[in-house]
């Protein structure tokens, strides 16, 4: 993208904005108006809030800030400010109704495409490389993933359809991969649409470590459950044990026991659990406990990124595990093309140079790390994007899920959430320190 001329940038930005909107429309047209305004869980907004919020952010950044145009609806800014109203209280607000919200986002988008038509991309940092347009497309796609999670929480007949993800092409060559000790470049200073928390590029060191070539599967995870893992304090951190007792957790969210088998509710369908599918909807504490039971640990964020991006042959860090090309359908399970994670081995073309698979797509992967700024971090374009979240309350997740669009997923992309969250499309892989005989 760095080499694109103004006209190509215009086309590129428009494509991403249009793809995001297609998805928002699919997710909101799939249900009736009652469902759109209903709160399906106190963890989530009504879908109609997400829709108008996406339009409001687009208006703030692109119509008013970049376009210097008159506000479309300055009167609703406060209603759709995510920092002013917790998700649980949003249904009580005087929100735009479904027809009004749809009309609003269309009106904003028309103005934005007009702004884009004449925008110059060589001005300030907000417009260079069409950053603000990319940020808005990412924001909408992030809400599309949140809306997909709301669909998963929704009770009722299935309304979303998608083809099954690909079957494994070949068994994994190895279950674990050794990553050598040394420095690599973490983060980015050059990716045009990277967000502030991914910046700047900086050297980062790890000791030699071993990381799983694939994510932990339902079959593997349920062995921990069936071995009584949820009843044994020794596998859990103090905070994790307190949480698992208080919340009464007995296994991954959306799973129920049916005699000697496990059933899973997925977007309104009930089906037997697939043993080879990456476990999904586990919280950080559950991931951490499983890893302890398996004699391993979660990778740190630095280890995850090194496994994903470091190319030992050249010493440089790639944009993605497979190289510098944007994700294709052969590389990763992204973009809501499939409504579940794919089994290990389904995307060999997406492997990292060291042979770690499916780091991008399928499920967000919990890491052991708190969400912290990189050395040299600078707020851009506003403190509420990342800075207010830095600290020990949030754990970092990496790699994106089947619900994440490629515009909101890079080898450097960082997501964060509370360690108790399970409604997100999150799983994990394990790591461990390398043994002396492995590095000799």
Binding-site residue ranges = 53, 87-90, 139, 143, 417, 421
Annotated binding site for gamma-L-glutamyl-L-cysteine: 87-90, 417, 421
Sign of torsion over alpha carbons 157, 163, 164, 165:
negative
Q: Is 297 helix (H, G, I), strand (E, B) or coil?
A: strand
Annotated binding site for Fe cation: 53, 139, 143
**How wide is the angle at C-alpha 410 spanned by C-alphas 364 and 324, nearest 5°?**
135
Q: Report the half-sphere exposure of 43 (CA within 13 A, side-chain side).
A: 15
Neighbours of 43 (CB within 10 A): 16
Task: Confirm if 405 and 20 have CB atoms less than 8 A apart.
Answer: yes
Q: Measuring CA to CA, how many Å separate 185 from each of 152, 178, 302, 365, 390?
A: 37, 18, 10, 20, 21
Q: Which residues have a Cβ under 8 Å from the Cβ of 100 and sit 6 or more positions away?
A: none
> What region does 267 belong to: left with phi over 0, alpha with psi -120 to 50, or beta?
left
Q: What is the full DSSP assignment across 308-366?
A: HHB-TTT-PBPSBTTBSSPP-TTT-B-TTSSSSPPPTTS-GGG--TT-----SBSSEEE
Torsion of Cα atoms, 284 then 290 then 294 then 298, to 10°: 0
Element (H, E) at 439: helix 436-439
Q: What CA–CA distance (Å, rounded) separates 242 from 274? A: 30
């Amino acid at each position: 993208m760095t080499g694109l001329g103004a006209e190509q940038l215009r086309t590129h930005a428009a494509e991403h904005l249009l793809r995001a909107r297609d998805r928002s429309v699919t997710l909101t047209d799939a249900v009736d108006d009652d469902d759109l305004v209903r709160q399906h869980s106190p963890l989530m907004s009504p879908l109609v809030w997400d829709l108008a919020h996406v339009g409001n952010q687009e208006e703030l950044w692109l119509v008013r800030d970049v376009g210097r145009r008159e506000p479309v609806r300055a009167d609703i800014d406060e209603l759709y400010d995510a920092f002013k109203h917790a998700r649980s209280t949003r249904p009580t607000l005087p929100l735009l109704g479904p027809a009004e919200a749809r009309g609003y986002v269309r009106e904003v988008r028309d103005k934005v495409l007009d702004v884009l038509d004449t925008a110059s991309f060589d001005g300030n940092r907000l417009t260079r490389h069409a950053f603000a347009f990319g940020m808005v497309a990412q924001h909408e796609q992030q809400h599309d993933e949140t809306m997909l999670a709301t669909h998963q929480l929704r009770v009722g007949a299935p309304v979303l359809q998608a083809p099954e993800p690909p079957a494994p092409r070949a068994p994994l060559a190895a279950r674990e991969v050794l990553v050598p000790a040394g420095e690599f470049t973490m983060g980015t200073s050059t990716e045009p649409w990277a967000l502030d928390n991914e910046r700047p590029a900086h050297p980062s060191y790890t000791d030699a470590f071993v990381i799983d070539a694939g994510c932990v599967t339902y079959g593997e995870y349920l062995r921990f459950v069936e071995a009584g893992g949820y009843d044994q304090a020794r596998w859990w951190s103090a905070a994790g044990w307190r949480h698992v007792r208080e919340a009464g957790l007995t296994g991954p969210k959306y799973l129920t026991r049916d005699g000697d088998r496990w059933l899973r509710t997925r977007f309104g369908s009930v089906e037997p659990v697939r043993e080879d599918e990456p476990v999904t909807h586990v919280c950080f504490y559950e991931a951490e406990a499983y890893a302890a039971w398996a004699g391993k640990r979660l990778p740190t964020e630095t280890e995850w990124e090194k496994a994903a991006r470091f190319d030992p042959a050249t010493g440089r860090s790639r944009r993605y595990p497979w190289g510098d090309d944007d994700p294709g359908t052969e590389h990763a399970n992204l973009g809501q093309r499939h409504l579940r994670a794919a089994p290990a081995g389904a995307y060999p073309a997406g492997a990292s140079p060291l042979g770690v698979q499916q780091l991008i797509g399928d499920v967000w992967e919990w890491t052991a790390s708190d969400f912290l700024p990189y050395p040299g971090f600078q707020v851009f374009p506003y403190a509420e994007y990342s800075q207010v979240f830095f600290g020990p309350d949030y754990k970092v997740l990496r790699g994106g899920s089947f619900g994440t669009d490629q515009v909101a997923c890079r080898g450097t992309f960082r997501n964060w959430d509370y360690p108790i969250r399970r409604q997100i499309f999150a799983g994990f892989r394990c790591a461990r320190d390398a043994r002396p005989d492995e590095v000799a």
